[in-house]
């Protein structure tokens, strides 16, 4: 494709995208296709000769769109939001066009430098202590592809540090023997990627119970650490969650932080969804105790109008991270090696996209005020939904509604709520997903669409109560 064709089709694509997002509410939120549906619609072999652009675009409508779950749809209330906004889309286009691969400072200086600056901006916006910022020279932030990666690399860093400390005391013991003694902790409500990080890192991961507010408390951790030390194990890493996936509950960072400090354990905080809300002063109390943390992550690609992928992570001591992840072949060195930031030492992949651009575009377009307004609107909409649920005595809510998630169920056996969710999702009128909280099956209602309004919330409640009436009338569950 030549530049003149690109100009033409590019403009058409922008129109296509604007139309899609403006009219997404006219589509069914979930597709009605079965596994393998696409095989009948697409040739089994790649075309030998290049095809017409118009044919390719026609197949976007005929082949791709029928199988899309529309995450930007106002009736999409599943999982957590998938961040999206026009400035972010445009910035990603530019990033694709520049097409640099910023694994080291020299590989594209602006790519690295903008990332350090924007991560400092964002760190200040969410109230991180200055030790986590690049401008301080000891810690700093980095963009990873996912929260799962953030948690994995911080666990690997903590493991590396713990083994090194043990080697100082037991210089003749094999690494593998030392590693077998390590134990990490999270709550039973931590995201499954924490368990996966333990699997990949080959360390024991203990899931600790939460209190009546679904919060992991300091005393529970201290008790587990004492038990494990008695067994000869070595506690080395805790992953606390701010905004659990199931119920958006908050671990007690102050208590956990004090315990980790005393015990010499690495504290990581996973705030994948809820971290965005920390830009509002009214949520800052949730990170009291952050001064004890070694690392922190949240996903602007969930709730800060930035498109996937953009998972931000900060460490208080960059050496503690890079010591665990540095390999240094000659072909990747440059004449500022050691002085400039080389982000390849801060994560797993070598190659990395210019993702700081979309964060920069979004923060500058909306400003902190605009982003706070967006977060507050979503919180308000969740409160509206909560009010509707609470006014109907057939339903109950589990957990506190703090941010944009409401977990509700029909009072009575789980089967009733299970059937309610199944019927709603089959209808394609709304899309929600379940969670199990202390053996109770709940439906998670997440406020997701960028421009969600009260009417969407009322529409959703109308659909839910219609289906609930059917279930309760038939009362066979
Ligand atoms: N942590 C929490 C609390 C989450 O809610 C999620 C996903 O929703 C994750 C981690 C995993 O995020 P990612 O898909 O970026 O790995």
How does pLDDT run across 33-46, given as a tens digit for each residue? 999 999 999 999 99
Indicate the range of 138-152, 167-181, 220-234, 440-454 predicted with least confidence. Answer: 167-181
Burial 161-179 (b: 16+ CB within 10 A, else e): bbbeebeeeeeeeeeeebb
| 212 alpha carbon – ligand 1 mean position (Å) | 23
| 191 alpha carbon – ligand 1 mean position (Å) | 6
- Specify the pLDDT at position 172: 86
The half-sphere exposure of 446 on its side-chain side, counting CA atoms within 13 A, is: 29
CATH of domain 100-353: 3.40.640.10
Among 79, 146, 187, 128, which Cα is nearest to 404's?
A: 79
Give ∠ CA 210-213-218 in degrees, rounded to 5.
45
How does pLDDT run across 69-113, given as a tens digit for each residue? 999 999 999 999 999 999 999 999 999 999 999 999 999 999 999
- Specify the pLDDT at position 173: 85
| 201 alpha carbon – ligand 1 mean position (Å) | 18
| 243 alpha carbon – ligand 1 mean position (Å) | 10
Backbone phi and psi for residue 207, each to the nearest 5 degrees, phi listed first: -95, 115
Residues with CB under 6 A from ligand 1: 80, 146-148, 191, 193, 241, 243, 245, 270, 272-273, 299, 311
- Specify the pLDDT at position 474: 84
Three-state secondary structure call for residue 351: coil
Own/partner contacts of 37-41, CB < 8 Å, gap of 24 or more, are 37/66, 37/67, 38/63, 38/67
| 309 alpha carbon – ligand 1 mean position (Å) | 12
- What ranges do the domains of the chain cover? 100-353
DSSP bridge pairs for 425: none
- Can you read off the two tokens belonging to residue 147? 């929260």
Rounded CA gap, 74 and 457, in Å? 9
- Specify the pLDDT at position 255: 98
- Specify the pLDDT at position 477: 44
Q: How confident is the model at residue 453 (pLDDT cuts 50, 70, 90)?
A: very high
Atom of ligand 1 nearest to the CA of 151: 10
| 436 alpha carbon – ligand 1 mean position (Å) | 17
Candidate of 81, 148, 311 to mutate for ligand 1, largest count of ligand atoms within 8 Å of Cβ? 148
In this structure, the number of other CB atoms found within 10 A of the CB of residue 377 comes to: 17
Give nearest CA residue, ligand 1 atom 12: 147
Rounded CA gap, 162 and 364, in Å? 40
Q: Global pTM?
A: 0.96
């Amino acid at each position: 494709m030549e530049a003149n064709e690109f100009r033409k089709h590019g403009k058409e694509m922008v129109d296509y995208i604007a139309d899609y997002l403006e009219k997404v509410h006219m589509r069914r939120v979930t597709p009605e296709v079965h596994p393998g549906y696409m095989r009948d619609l697409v040739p089994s072999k790649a075309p030998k000769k290049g095809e017409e652009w118009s044919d390719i675009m026609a197949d976007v409508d005929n082949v791709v769109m029928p199988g899309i779950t529309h995450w930007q749809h106002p009736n999409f209330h599943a999982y957590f939001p998938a961040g999206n906004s026009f400035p972010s889309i445009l910035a990603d286009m530019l990033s694709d066009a520049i097409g640099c691969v910023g694994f080291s400072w020299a590989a594209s200086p602006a790519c690295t430098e903008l990332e350090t600056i924007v991560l400092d901006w964002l760190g200040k916006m969410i109230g991180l202590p200055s030790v986590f910022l690049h401008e301080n020279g000891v810690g700093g932030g980095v963009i990873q592809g996912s929260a799962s990666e953030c948690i994995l690399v911080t666990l690997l860093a903590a493991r590396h540090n713990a083994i090194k400390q043990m080697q100082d005391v037991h210089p003749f013991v094999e690494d593998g023997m030392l590693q077998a003694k390590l134990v990490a902790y999270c709550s039973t409500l931590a995201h499954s990627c924490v368990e996966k990080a333990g699997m990949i890192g080959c360390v024991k991961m203990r899931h600790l119970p939460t209190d009546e507010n679904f919060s992991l408390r300091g005393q529970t951790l201290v008790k587990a650490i004492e038990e494990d030390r008695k067994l000869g194990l070595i506690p080395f890493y805790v992953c606390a969650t701010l905004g659990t996936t199931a119920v958006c509950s908050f671990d007690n960072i102050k208590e956990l932080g004090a315990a980790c400090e005393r015990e010499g354990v690495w504290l990581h905080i996973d705030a994948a969804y809820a971290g965005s809300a920390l830009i509002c002063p009214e949520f800052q109390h949730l990170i009291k105790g952050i001064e004890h943390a070694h690392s922190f992550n949240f996903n602007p690609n969930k709730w800060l109008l930035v498109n996937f992928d953009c998972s931000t992570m900060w460490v208080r001591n960059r050496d503690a991270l890079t010591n665990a992840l540095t390999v240094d072949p000659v072909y990747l060195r440059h004449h500022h090696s050691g002085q400039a930031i080389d982000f390849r030492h801060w994560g797993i992949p070598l190659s990395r996209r210019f993702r700081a651009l979309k964060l920069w575009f979004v923060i500058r377009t909306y400003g902190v005020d605009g982003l706070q307004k967006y977060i507050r609107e979503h919180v308000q909409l969740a409160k509206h939904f909560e009010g509707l649920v609470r006014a109907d005595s057939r339903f109950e809510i589990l957990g506190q509604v703090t941010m944009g998630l409401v977990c509700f169920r029909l009072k009575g056996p789980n089967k009733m709520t299970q059937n309610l969710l199944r019927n709603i999702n089959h209808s394609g009128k709304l899309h929600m997903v379940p969670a199990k909280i202390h053996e109770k099956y709940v439906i998670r209602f997440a406020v997701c669409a960028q421009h969600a309004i009260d009417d969407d919330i009322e529409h959703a409640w109308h659909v839910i109560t219609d289906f609930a009436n059917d279930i309760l009338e038939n009362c066979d569950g």
